[in-house]
Structure 1
Amino acid sequence: MSELLLLLQFSVPVGLAALGETLTQRAGLINIGLEGTMLIGAYAGMFATHLTGNPWLGVAVGGLAGLLLSLVFGLFTITLLVDQVVTGAAISLLALGVTGAHFRSQFGESGVLLSVPKIPNWQGVDWVLLATLLAVPVVYVLLFKTPWGLGVRACGEEPAAADALGWDVARLRFQTLALGGVLGGIAGAYLSLGIVGSFSENMTGGRGFVAIAMVTFARWNPLFVIGAALLMGYLDSLQYAFQAKGWNLPYQLFIAMPYGVALLVLIAVGKGTAAPAALGVPFRRPK
């Protein structure tokens, strides 16, 4: 049972982030800045918990930080029509620099002694984990069973047609981006408060990019995201299982393993996968 709970816990960060990115990409936006969203959520959540001693407040602050950073991404890509990939990369670098600089100014070069209260749990089960499992069917229903979801999918396939039918493309894209930002920020906060109980520079370690890859693996379907997240969670938890067994393997192997597997999976399932037709394409509303 403990191994199963460990697997589920390690699946939460990538799973939540991938769910949010699924919404965002279905609307036609590819948020490469998801890595930065998770990182800023992880740091903001940790810092708020450090100041208040309340990890639940930390989770909320992490979600808020993710929301704000995603809205910055939206300002540039939706309003100003700047290239989405370039903006996302800049957002991730900005988050890396800001969190690193503030972390060092507050806790020194290493922050070795930094420890904050973790999210309370019962027998290893906490509310964020349960909410993540519940979010999968909720996001599916939102996307495929509601008029709002129909509008979102229309924005990702034919934004001009969606606009002609009366949907506000910019508003819907901002809404999905906001939801994705909150989920990405909470995903990062769960990494620092639910799993580690601390923070280190660049602690997300590329999980945001893995989450983006998992959206493709899941074929933009929230129900398949949980399977992809469990796979990544399993690979993420292997390092602890191997350490418990006394296997002295290079830590670099564990760092590289999720990305190698993600690449192999994308090669295996990516061929023939149809992304939303307008993914990454800015929409200019006719005057």
Structure 2
Amino acid sequence: MAGEEAIIIGIIVSGIRLSIPILFAALGEKIAERSGVLNLGVEGMMLIGAFTGFMGTYLTGNYVVGILMAIVGAAALAILMGFMSITIRTNQLAAGLAIWLLGTGLAALLYRLAFGVRTVAPSVELMPKIDIPGLSNLPGIGPVLFNHDPLVYIAFLLVPLTHYFIFKTKLGLKIRTVGENPKQADTLGVNVYRIRYLTLIIGGALAGVGGAYFSLVQTGYFLENVTGGAGWIALALVIFGRWKAYWITLGAFIFGMVDSFQLGLQATGVQVPFQFLLMLPYLIPIAVLAGMYKKTGAPAALAIPYKRGQR
């Protein structure tokens, strides 16, 4: 029984950690979409975050510097996304795809320029866990809740904070108004362009942190496409999570748990095609959330460029 309990706890702990980068990116994208900007470049921003976060930590040995560099790198792409989709009003779908391709290619190029071609990839020490005395050793819940790296706790904290920010603050009200009716918001004196830039930068910054999680916590090194499509999963979870922080969090955790479960099955050598196991983390969360989904509607102005004075 003790062995089975250890396996279950291991799957839960691993599932939590696998969900964290997606949760960061999805919460950031939710904020951006609330203002009416659909950012399909999340995956590219995560890859830039993974690279710049790794480089910052590799060069300085400081995780804080690495995280800050990941935020700056991804936010820079977000500003470029804003210039294309907000300032010159390029189609948001096309602009997002361009940012995705740019981030993917740029991260790989910068890595090659920095390190060349090596047989052994440069690496950093994995971000250490925070051992909370008296709590991390509690049976069962100790390792599940109180024995994680700092970014896990920051992600947990962001869930209620983003909900409060969007629904309980004056700025959150402006963001929602811009996303629903930018013309009305403009009439009331809200700077639509500034709000949309702000939310895009916040979304990009959180995507960068999510990308850095891969290189600093999960692997300790940077690889091309290390995010493995996490940005696209984050985009899907925003939709199926109904643009609400708690539903998005549920979707991220379901994805992480199923991914952890399939990795455990592969490790045991179960006689199931590994392609099917790899598909499970992408299939089950979408199926579950789709079944729970009630039509609430996206922000009315989502993906629609705004031009002042336009009818």
- TM-score w.r.t. structure 1 length? 0.93
Question: Is residue 158 of structure 1 aligned with residue 181 of structure 2?
Answer: yes
**Which residue of structure 2 lines up, in the alignment, with residue 16 of structure 1?**
24
Match of 1:85, as an amino acid? L
Max radius of gyration: which structure? 2
Instruction: State the alpha-carbon separation in 2 of the partners of residues 211 and 78 from structure 1.
Output: 22
1:210-263: CA deviations, max 9, x gaps?
101000111001121110110111133234322442437655445433333355
**Which residue of structure 1 lines up, in the alignment, with residue 264 of structure 2?**
241
CA shift in 2, pair 1:126/1:265, >3 Å: same
Aligned residues: 287
**2:98 corresponds to which of 90, 93, 105:** 90
CA shift in 2, pair 1:130/1:27, >3 Å: same
**Which residue of structure 2 lines up, in the alignment, with residue 136 of structure 1?**
159
Contact 1:66–1:182, Cα closer than 8 Å, also in 2: yes
Superposed counterparts of 1:172-183, under 5 Å: 172-183=195-206
Instruction: State the alpha-carbon separation in 2 of the partners of residues 97 and 34 from structure 1.
Output: 14
Bigger drift between 148-157 and 103-112 goes to 103-112
What displacement does 1:4 show? Answer: 2.5
Question: Is residue 223 of structure 1 aligned with residue 246 of structure 2?
Answer: yes
What displacement does 1:106 show? Answer: 3.4
CA shift in 2, pair 1:78/1:63, >3 Å: same
Contact 2:251–2:289, Cα closer than 8 Å, also in 1: no
What displacement does 1:63 show? Answer: 1.3
Question: Is residue 207 of structure 1 aligned with residue 215 of structure 2?
Answer: no
Bigger drift between 119-128 and 219-228 goes to 119-128
Instruction: State the alpha-carbon separation in 1 of the partners of residues 31 and 250 from structure 2.
Output: 17
CA shift in 2, pair 1:244/1:258, >3 Å: closer
Gaps in structure 1 of 5+ consecutive residues: none
Instruction: State the alpha-carbon separation in 1 of the partners of residues 284 and 82 from structure 2.
Output: 31
**Which residue of structure 2 lines up, in the alignment, with residue 79 of structure 1?**
87
Contact 2:12–2:260, Cα closer than 8 Å, also in 1: no
Instruction: State the alpha-carbon separation in 1 of the partners of residues 217 and 279 from structure 2.
Output: 23
Identity percentage of aligned residues = 39
CA shift in 2, pair 1:246/1:72, >3 Å: same
CA shift in 2, pair 1:151/1:116, >3 Å: same
Match of 1:229, as an amino acid? A
1:66-98: CA deviations, max 9, x gaps?
111111100111111011110110111011111
Instruction: State the alpha-carbon separation in 1 of the partners of residues 107 and 275 from structure 2.
Output: 23
CA shift in 2, pair 1:157/1:237, >3 Å: same
Instruction: State the alpha-carbon separation in 2 of the partners of residues 161 and 235 from structure 1.
Output: 43
**Which residue of structure 2 lines up, in the alignment, with residue 260 of structure 1?**
283
Instruction: State the alpha-carbon separation in 1 of the partners of residues 113 and 177 from structure 2.
Output: 46
Match of 2:297, as an amino acid? A
Match of 1:223, as an amino acid? Y
Contact 1:213–1:266, Cα closer than 8 Å, also in 2: no
- TM-score w.r.t. structure 2 length? 0.86
Gaps in structure 2 of 5+ consecutive residues: 1-8, 132-146
Bigger drift between 20-29 and 60-69 goes to 60-69
1:125-170: CA deviations, max 9, x gaps?
1211101001011010110011111110011111101111111111
Alignment RMSD: 2.0
Instruction: State the alpha-carbon separation in 2 of the partners of residues 56 and 250 from structure 1.
Output: 41
